[in-house]
């Protein structure tokens, strides 16, 4: 499936939530396409290990995306190290704790807003100054939850809907200055987040058989493809891997 023709050499990609799941797969795929990669997550040991395995073209930095100072500093260090920031994968996200609204702890609900929404805004806010008039590309991890209501996921649905709105706002404000922004709705993916969902037992997604989830590597393939000019028609929208058109675009004609 690997699209060998995608070449991202001389480009630097910042990936949030790079320690596991989709973020980790994205880092490996972007590095394979020739990009410099900047790995951000809270757990420094995990990203440092992956960064060392990739070598000189990788750099890791502990960063809590909900903290603006962390994010601003990480981007400054990345630019200092590689000289440009061309791609941002706004991937860090959480869904815990899954709970119906009357059972939700307000502080925990707000923490999801801090990570899933404010974290994405912080990434965009930090990236735009480096990307303006420089062919920048921002990919926001979205979800079917951005347009659907699911029981127990009020925090997640609300924040993903708001991220979809942010994608459109960035497109509105910065496409004329060469910054591309697109959402990526992957469907269900075999990562730790799906383990959390399955353990919750709430709503039909928690009941899905593990075999229906796609792999994080497939999502990573979509991420590198979205960095190419071929994906321009999706700018300002949510690109979905659940549609035939989306699967065909990245070279998956049938079920993933």
Q: Which residues are catalytic?
A: 156
- Nearer CB in complex with ligand NAP: 64/235: 64
10-69: contacts with ligand NAP (CB under 6 A): 16-23, 41-43, 46, 63-66
Minimum Å distance from CB 23 to ligand NAP?
A: 5
Minimum Å distance from CB 140 to ligand NAP?
A: 8
The answer to whether residues 249 and 193 touch, using CB atoms and an 8 Å cutoff, is no
Minimum Å distance from CB 177 to ligand NAP?
A: 26
Phi, psi dihedral angles at 189 (to 5 degrees) = -125, 140
Termini Cα distance of the chain: 11
110-129: contacts with ligand NAP (CB under 6 A): 115, 119
- Residue 181 CA to residue 191 CA, distance in Å, equals 25
Look at residues 53, 118, 72 and name the one whose alpha carbon lies nearest to residue 92: 118
- Residue 104 CA to residue 202 CA, distance in Å, equals 13
Total count of residues recorded for the chain: 256
- Nearer CB in complex with ligand NAP: 46/72: 46
136-195: contacts with ligand NAP (CB under 6 A): 141, 143, 186, 188-189, 191-194
- Nearer CB in complex with ligand NAP: 52/132: 52
- Nearer CB in complex with ligand NAP: 131/220: 220
- Beta strand pairing call for 87-90 and 137-141: parallel
- Nearer CB in complex with ligand NAP: 188/206: 188
Alpha helices in 64-215 (DSSP H): 68-82, 106-112, 119-131, 154-174, 192-200
**How many residues sit in the footprint of ligand NAP (CB under 6 A)?**
31
Which helix (H) or strand (E) segment holds residue 245: the answer is helix 244-249
Cβ-in-10-Å burial (0-12, 13-18, 19+) of 198 comes to middle
Minimum Å distance from CB 242 to ligand NAP?
A: 10
Binding mask 63-92 vs ligand NAP (x if CB under 6 A, - otherwise)?
xxxx------------------------xx
Phi, psi dihedral angles at 183 (to 5 degrees) = -90, 155
Minimum Å distance from CB 38 to ligand NAP?
A: 13
Contacting positions for ligand NAP (CB under 6 A): 16-23, 41-43, 46, 63-66, 91-94, 115, 119, 141, 143, 186, 188-189, 191-194
């Amino acid at each position: 499936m690997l699209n060998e023709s995608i070449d991202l050499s001389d480009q630097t990609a910042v990936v949030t939530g790079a320690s596991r799941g989709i973020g980790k797969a994205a880092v490996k795929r972007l590095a394979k396409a020739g990009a410099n990669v900047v790995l951000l997550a809270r757990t420094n040991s995990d990203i440092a290990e992956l960064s060392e395995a990739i070598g000189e073209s990788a750099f890791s930095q502990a960063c809590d995306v909900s903290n603006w100072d962390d994010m601003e500093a990480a981007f400054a260090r990345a630019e200092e190290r590689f000289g440009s920031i061309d791609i941002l994968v706004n991937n860090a996200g959480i869904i815990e704790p899954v709970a119906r609204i009357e059972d939700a702890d307000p502080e925990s609900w707000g923490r999801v807003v801090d990570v899933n929404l404010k974290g994405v805004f912080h990434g965009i806010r930090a990236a735009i100054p480096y990307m303006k008039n420089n062919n920048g590309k921002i990919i926001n991890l979205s979800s079917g939850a951005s347009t659907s209501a699911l029981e127990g996921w009020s925090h997640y649905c609300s924040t993903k809907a708001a991220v979809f709105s942010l994608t459109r706002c960035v497109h509105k404000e910065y496409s004329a200055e060469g910054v591309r922004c697109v959402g990526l709705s992957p469907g269900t993916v075999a990562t730790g987040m799906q383990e959390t969902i399955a353990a919750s037992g709430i709503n039909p997604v928690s009941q899905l058989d593990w075999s229906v989830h796609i792999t994080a590597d497939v999502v990573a393939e979509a991420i590198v493809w979205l960095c190419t000019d071929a994906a321009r028609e999706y700018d300002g929208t949510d690109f979905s891997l659940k549609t035939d058109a989306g699967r065909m675009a990245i070279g998956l004609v049938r079920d993933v």
